[in-house]
Structure 1
Amino acid sequence: MTDTMAKVPPLVPPPVELPERVAALRAEVRAFLAEELAADRWRPRADTWLSGWDERFSKELAARGWLGMTIPPEYGGHGRGALERYVVTEELLAAGAPVAAHWIADRQIGPSLLRFGTEEQRQAFLPGIARGEVYFGIGMSEPDSGSDLASVRSRAEPVDGGWELTGTKVWTSGAHRAHAFFALVRTSPKDETNRHAGLSQLIVELDSPGVTIRPIPLLTGAHHFNEVVFDKVFIPESRVLGEIGQGWHQVTSELAFERSGPERYLSTFPLLTALLREAHQVDEERLGGLVSRYWTLRRMSLAIAGALEAGQAPELAAAVVKDLGTRFENEVIDAARTLLPTAPDPGGTGYARLLAEAVLHAPGFTLRGGTNEVLRGITARGLGLR
């Protein structure tokens, strides 16, 4: 082993096993989902954490204690661990359940408020998140910037009592329905020697004067993404998240939650299970390869959940899981299209609809949460290779 190789940090935290106590929780979630499906309250979908907006369902989960699971009780949560939350999330995604309404708030806004928010901010938002009543988006990407967050141009200028925000964000999932989002903005001039300096996070309430939300429809005509324009929007000082100038550090910590979860390889899981049911003996080697890769990704994602439960923020490992996971999701679609092609039927039921949905959503898999090229750059830098 060379000296360089000896210094390379591990890509993924050590593997963990789910504790026995979560078996009963998993069974409880499965029973609830079976009841929902039997009552025909929703149909399983591909990419449901983007497309499945159902506020009734989110409130049902909250009533059972399955939202805000890692939020402390003093803020309306349940004080449970990341591994217990992982089990609930895994079951919801595997079933193709409609989780989009609460998804961003529960996945990363809550943990970020606990880590960087003020006491007033926590009291203002966390109880509503845990009740499934407060929904958030993410305001990171901007026009012509791709996944290069260091090129953020939206700017907040200090004014009496707060900040005045001007700029544009794009690809903001659910902004037309959400109550607020975290916006990464520039609060001091760009420093070419340190492109990540001078960035801050603001909590923008989306009904504020000067906020305009415009739809970015999918090819299907469905409306999930948005362009959000700020025209001299006043942001009170009480809605600064964390410290001014520390936005980059805060965002990278937040991305560990966004990039590492089971949604990065389970968006097409309903399609994969339908393919396995329908294909039977069609190319068993290829199907077996997909299943084994799924299991490997699950082990990696679960290891990160264990690290999060231990209070760590494994940004490098999260980038690896997101890169590998989104490539896997596209391979599931490719296998389904070639092994069991069928006429598109977006409005139907079963395999044909799941395949049509997955194909239409596939272009976004490798973009949201950072393009694969950006993620590989993060991985290379983390390993000391760049």
Structure 2
Amino acid sequence: MVATPTVLEPGALPPGAAELRSRVREFLAETPFTARCDSWLTGADPAFSRRLGERGWLGMTLPERYGGHGRSPLERFVVIEELLAAGAPVGAHWIADRQTGPSVLANGTEEQKERFLPAIARGECFFAIGMSEPDSGSDLASVRTRAKRDGDGWRLHGTKVWTSGAHIAHAILVLARSAPRSDDRHAGLSQFIVALPDERVTIRPIRGLASEHHFNEVVLDGVFVPGSMVLGRIGDGWRQVTAELAYERSGPERLLSTFMLVRLLHGRAPDAAARRALGGLTARLWSLRQASLAVAGALARGDTPELPAALVKDLGTRFEREVVEAARAHAGVEPDLGSPDPLARALAESVVQAPGFTLRGGTNEILRGIVARGLGVR
């Protein structure tokens, strides 16, 4: 029997969105920063994050009682869309604001909410997520990091890789196996909040093609986690993680990592072929934006649109790579990280990051499997 897929209404922004967008643009125009492609991953500036927090643009959807601003995911959509389109350095707070904050709100204890959420909203607490592991790819159910009882807490042993921002994070949310494997591969997984730095946590850089540092290997060598820092219920980690991934996979960052190239190419399209390519990219970007906006609307209604989020991530990250190829074909410049030409620089930044677009946050093959299972055809 084929399952009935979740139906999402086309996205629509709330009243006041235009005024909010204007305020963000004014802030960006008066705030000095170095714009870059893929800024939500590679552009980390803690001072910039704190300035956003001062303006109420972090923790926007969190309740006011926890230092948030009680605004809708659609209002947050407007803010992050402008930040990403400008290439602003939002990488330091990105994970905490995008997914850890909502996850702590949904699953955390009162102590955890009071400790972390106000600091996230101020831009003073950054999180990393410890999901991926060596030799596991996107198969989170194959997690080998172990959590063993130790008095009133737990000891964690294992290694995480591709851990964005761990070197500047104040804490890492670790998915670990808290019970022996069983026939149910998704059972026995739990989430633990590990405060950083810790002498039993070793963080090693994983450098990219241009020697940039945003990924890390994180080794957990018996780090102690008190029982008060278990997120949610022991054994409920898989449900919590899959709900969290709806936030990770569906936002504008899955469409806009290479938007600077579209904008810069628009000002330089040298011939009819370039203009046709640019027109096609713009049309596709608008349709993908509507899909992402529809997921944000579902989140605003309290839904957990895991399948549509996976689809947005699949289509969006493929689009981002196609933008790079179109720019290489029509920009008329060579990629050069040291060039004074912003188009040559942005092209170089995109070229070195593009191999990861369809890998991070779940490979496209894994995402298509999730969609197929959700539709009952696999």
Q: TM-score, normalised by structure 1?
A: 0.95
**Which amino acid counterpart does residue 353 of structure 1 have in structure 2?**
R
Q: Give the aligned partner of residue 371 of structure 2.
A: 379
| Structural RMSD (CA) | 1.1
Contact 2:11 2:291 in 1 (8 A): no
**Which residue is equivalent to 1:187?**
178
1:226 match = 216
For the pair 1:293 / 2:289, whether they are aligned, the reply is no
1:21 is displaced (CA, Å) by 1.4
Counterpart of 1:279 in 2: which secondary structure?
A: coil
2:257: which partner in 1? Answer: 267
Asked if 1:311 is matched to 2:305, the reply is no
Q: How far apart, in 1, do the equivalents of 2:239 and 2:79 lie?
A: 29
Give the match's secondary structure for 1:101.
Answer: coil
C-alpha displacement at 1:271, in angstroms? 1.0
Query: Which residue does 1:8 correspond to in 2?
Result: 4
2:54 to 58, 63, 81: 63
Distance 1:327 1:368 in 2: 12
Is the Cα–Cα contact under 8 Å of residues 190 and 197 in structure 1 kept in the other structure?
yes
Instruction: Tell me what 1:20 maps to.
Output: 15
1:205 aligns with 2:195: yes
Distance 1:91 1:243 in 2: 37
Mapping 1:14-163, distance limit 5 Å: 14-36=9-31, 41-163=32-154
Distance 1:269 1:207, change over 3 A: same
Deviation at 1:344, TM superposition (A): 2.5
The residue type equivalent to 2:57 in the other structure is W
Query: Which of 276, 301, 306 is residue 266 of structure 2 equivalent to?
Result: 276
> What's the secondary structure of 2:92's corresponding residue?
helix
2:15 and 2:70 map into 1 onto residues whose CA distance is: 18
Alpha carbons 1:211, 1:233 under 8 Å: kept: yes
What is the aligned partner in structure 1 of residue 337 from structure 2? 346
Quick one: structure 1 residues 359 and 282, their matched pair in 2 at CA, closer, same or farther if it must change by over 3 Å?
A: farther
Q: Structure 2: how far apart are the matches of 1:16 and 1:327?
A: 21
Q: Give the residue type in structure 2 aligned to 1:357.
A: E
Q: SS at the partner of 1:100? A: coil
Per-residue deviation, 1:286: 2.2
The question of 1:247 aligning with 2:267 is answered: no
Letter in 2 for 1:21: G
Q: Which runs of 5+ in 1 are unaligned?
A: none
Describe the superposition over 1:256-304 as per-residue Cα deviations: whole angstroms up to 9, x where unpaired. Answer: 0000000000000011111111115341332211111100110000001
| Equivalent residue letter for 2:4 | V
Hey, what does 2:349 align to over in structure 1? 357
Stretches of 4+ aligned residues off by more than 2 angstroms: none
Stretch moving more, 178-187 or 16-25 = 16-25
Identity of aligned residues (%): 63
CA contact (8 A) 1:282 1:339 kept: no
Alignment-mate amino acid for residue 66 of structure 2 = Y
Give the letter aligned to residue 347 of structure 1: G
Which among 223, 229, 237 is matched to residue 227 of structure 2?
A: 237
Contact 2:171–2:196 (Cα < 8 Å) also in 1: yes
Q: Distance in 2 between matches of 1:157 and 1:208?
A: 18
In the superposition, the TM-score normalised over structure 2's length comes to 0.97
CA shift, 1:52, in A, is 0.7
Report SS of the residue matched to 2:359: coil
The letter of the residue matching 1:19 is P
- Distance (Å, rounded) in 2 between the aligned partners of 1:85 and 1:287: 28
